[in-house]
Amino acid sequence: MEHYDKWNYWLNVGISLDKLGNSISGGSHKVTISARTGKHANTPGAFKTYWKLQESIINFAFHPVDGPDHCHEAYKKEREDSEVMREGNPFLRGILAIIVLTFCILIGAVLRIIKPITRLFKKINLTI
């Protein structure tokens, strides 16, 4: 019987939801919102300010677990699918902004609560 790893399970669920959000907002189901944002924030384009702002929000949310450059790192990991990382039309970019703001506020808060707790548990040799 395969070992059940609850952290990998939730990571996979999160990535799947991320790709779903990317699809809903005019992106591809093959890449995450972070990778799409990382690409467009760091390449020339008409909406660079939009993508840079979004990159800052996402990077801030994921900083406790991924450090300061989450989006660019996600783009480097998913670069082989970069041809499907389209910007989308203005309406769909608005949907994307709503998704990013909503979930990054929640994710950022949760990660800032969980990270110190997991460090404490590791320090006293407890497992979650």
Find the distance separating the first CA and the last CA of the chain, reported in whole Å. Answer: 21
Q: Are 32 and 73 in contact (CB under 8 A)?
A: no
Amino acid (one-letter) located at 85: M
The span from the CA of 2 to the CA of 70, in Å, is: 31
- 7 assigned to some structural domain: no
Over the chain, what is the mean pLDDT?
87
Domain tally for the chain? 1
Q: 0.85 exceeded by the pTM?
A: no
Distance CA 74, CA 78 (A): 6
Q: 77-117 pLDDT, tens per residue?
A: 988 776 778 788 889 999 999 999 999 999 999 988 887 77
Mean pLDDT computed over 49-60: 96
Residue 88 lies in a domain: yes
In a domain, 41, yes or no: yes
pLDDT of residue 127: 56
Q: Does residue 11 sit within a domain? A: no
* In a domain? residue 112: yes
Domain with 68, as residue range(s), is 24-123
Q: What percent of the chain has pLDDT over 90?
A: 58
Tell me whether residue 9 is in a domain. no
pLDDT the model gives residue 5: 75
